[in-house]
Structure 1
């Protein structure tokens, strides 16, 4: 990775290859109903549609509305090319998140997740209808929607591919956990356990996916070989993949998000404020769409930001409800008395939905205090922004190990083994200063920028990720078995 390649923040939008003749293939996208999954599936839908392949995006009416409402960095004309189809879904409860839960997994979303188990029949019917109109139906589904799309195995001209929305590292370590054998690659720190990172309810939900998952014809990974080659190689082994093919096409991001932030909606207060700050002087603080901080965590984070004496943008909002459009009381998390007055001119607190890709792409952003959800990780990596990692649930502790110990482009706020102990303001402030105002932080930032340049090259025309995407398109549009009988 040579820094002479250039920063991905200066990367310009590239056109994707197009197929000159209309294809006889149709693609069905079946996402999991969480923001990060809905978003990635919509981004990939837009990319595939540029190859002149019709794309149908299937979800509940509520979650299609959510995906459209949070379109970020996508070209509206690309979104207009997607055919959205509402899948009949039973009504589900939409409770508010519990900020005081000892387990940070967003259990308030579980009713929405469970409702998807009733989508098998309508998704199967839609699949059969498309199979009568096209020579081949390609179903791209979330790993945890395998149960819903399993009837693909009953349709002779249909095949399915699983899109993995987590890191290859997390996926590989999870597979080896399930096999009950030691992971073949050693690390400087012990692999984090999944203790307190999930709930019994989500594990039960995932158990429904195990057998139908075997029906897939291949795998698509939202990562890049320059980031995760050793773990992708493990996942390609015959004892894991069998005879299935895989394609590593990431990072899947809106192309506009890879170019100058000045091209975006500069009316958002965060971007207007960033325009007035010095280059790489601001740390962005956000914990994704599913994390809810307790009052005590908010207090310690506020004091830590203040003690760090670094400029910041803090997106302070609770995790999503299952139906983000449902009314009701919205918690207004309190800040320490006088905090916003004391940090005036140094930082701002945003309580609305912030344009994260644009904030990370802005030249004034120099760090990201993050929960280490995979979408946030790859956005930060693509923009060359180093991370302070504060994992909350799911595979985030393992992503933290990847970011801090393997790629070495971040600093851990705490060790997952100590997750039952509260994180104090002094620790937070110290990590922020290390990342933003020290020689250690400068070295981490240099590595992050080199990795961003390599990732930018991989996703550009002729790069390894772009070539694998072209390979996938060539595979699903193959003509050899599409000749009418």
Structure 2
């Protein structure tokens, strides 16, 4: 007997930072497209943020979603500090401190849906595990975790020897230090959350077997996961990109005029900042590399991205830089349509902070990555794409995070991917992996990400 979807409610609860909001919204769209009632629950500001930055889908796709605004106490939204001694975005601390106060409001939503649904499926993440706790007290609710970072980073972070670390060592892959990946304040929040009971029926993850197949197998052998279900449903971002309606972003018109596979895209994360000195060195390296580029150079996100700035951020660049690059470079001072940029035929490489969202988007578009990690699990991601997948190179090694990277080294790394014959293998592997991932994500593919999504839907809606 085929299970009905009409009496199933899906509730997704993202953490209020761009890389999380975005992945959860993509997931919501994919689930909704299969006829499920999907409820996206977040503070009003962050719902607005997620919706305003959505790319790659027709504008109408979010009309079928149910958005629930979770009240949150007022919080400060300070400007980022590009000269901080650590790269973690400490401007988010006030938001993170109050975010868990949404829990009773979420509990009310779950209770209301529980009364009218055969089953309430709650999808949260480790940093919103209070949603799983609230689901656990309802008789007809099932909590699942959506992992927005690679499972390989978790396995690589385990202390001591494990099958995963043994594999990495056999391949000569270096596991980076976790020092300075988080601020002390955020580490305390993570520790507090992890100490609380977090039940789950299974795990969804924004990856696929082409990207993390060996690590998925290792993860399923972990003692605390035995007996649970794993659904590698990634990429959750669309891989057949549909441009947003007019007005079209100016950078896409500029890219249309560039030769195929000739442009370096540079975006070092929505919540990271460089000092003026480092920006000057990056600009000089770009200039000396003599490569076309699109550079997203804007103030990092605040806790509330819509808060009015006291002053417009002005970035110090080398004298005459804009005049010298006017025919070859474009600087974007605001939000950029990253998926549409990466999918453009003119793009040849992506200099990235290696947030997992950006990694998966770049991999799925077949674009080589120039890795410049900033915080969180990004040091691992940079090693993973360069040394394990071999679809990228390291720009700045994490061990040198306290240094200013000089223009000469930046220039040389750009040329390694964009110019030199030695980069041909990286470019070839990136293109081939992108094709494989897109095939996995396509409807009807064998053992595909689409099949994994359907498997989750079938499980969630079972009688």
Q: TM-score range by the shorter chain?
A: over 0.9
Moved more, 113-122 or 96-105: 113-122
Partners of 2:319 and 2:339 in 1: how far apart?
31
Q: Which runs of 5+ in 1 are unaligned?
A: 1-18, 480-485
Change (3 A) 1:372 1:363: same
3-state secondary structure, aligned to 2:166: coil
CA deviation map 1:401-431 (0-9, x unaligned): 1110011011111221122222110000000
2:69 equivalent in structure 1: 86
Partners of 1:171 and 1:194 in 2: how far apart?
11
Partners of 2:4 and 2:172 in 1: how far apart?
52
Asked whether the equivalents of residues 266 and 272 of structure 1 are also in contact (C-alpha less than 8 Å), the reply is: no
2:211 equivalent in structure 1: 227
2:348 equivalent in structure 1: 366
CA deviation map 1:190-213 (0-9, x unaligned): 210111111111111112321446
Give the TM-score normalised by the residue count of structure 2.
0.95
Is 1:34 the counterpart of 2:24? The answer is no
1:341 equivalent in structure 2: 323
Asked whether the equivalents of residues 73 and 264 of structure 1 are also in contact (C-alpha less than 8 Å), the reply is: no
Is 1:308 the counterpart of 2:289? The answer is yes
Say which structure, 1 or 2, has more relative contact order (CA 8 Å, 6+ apart): 1
3-state secondary structure, aligned to 1:190: coil
1:473-484 to 2 correspondences below 5 Å: 473-479=457-463
1:321 equivalent in structure 2: 302
1:394 equivalent in structure 2: 376
1:184 equivalent in structure 2: 166
Partners of 1:197 and 1:220 in 2: how far apart?
24
2:273 equivalent in structure 1: 292
Task: Give the deviation of 1:346 after TM superposition.
Answer: 1.2
Task: Give the deviation of 1:309 after TM superposition.
Answer: 0.6
**Count, aligned residues:** 455
Task: Give the deviation of 1:22 after TM superposition.
Answer: 4.4
1:244 pairs, out of 228, 237, 240, with 228
CA deviation map 1:123-167 (0-9, x unaligned): 111111110010100000122100344121111100111100011
1:115 pairs, out of 83, 88, 98, with 98
Is 1:208 the counterpart of 2:192? The answer is yes
CA deviation map 1:277-309 (0-9, x unaligned): 111000001112111111011000000000101
Task: Give the deviation of 1:268 after TM superposition.
Answer: 1.5
1:169 equivalent in structure 2: 152
Asked whether the equivalents of residues 74 and 255 of structure 1 are also in contact (C-alpha less than 8 Å), the reply is: no
1:466 equivalent in structure 2: 450
1:378 equivalent in structure 2: 360
Task: Give the deviation of 1:118 after TM superposition.
Answer: 0.7
3-state secondary structure, aligned to 2:198: helix
3-state secondary structure, aligned to 2:294: strand
Partners of 2:125 and 2:286 in 1: how far apart?
37
Change (3 A) 1:401 1:420: same
1:127-166 to 2 correspondences below 5 Å: 127-166=110-149
3-state secondary structure, aligned to 1:202: helix
3-state secondary structure, aligned to 1:367: strand
Q: Which runs of 5+ in 2 are unaligned?
A: none
Task: Give the deviation of 1:21 after TM superposition.
Answer: 5.3
1:37-52 to 2 correspondences below 5 Å: 37-52=20-35
Moved more, 189-198 or 327-336: 327-336
1:446 equivalent in structure 2: 428
Is 1:67 the counterpart of 2:53? The answer is no
CA deviation map 1:209-235 (0-9, x unaligned): 214463111100100101111111111
Is 1:278 the counterpart of 2:259? The answer is yes
Runs of 4+ in 1 over 6 A off after TM superposition: none
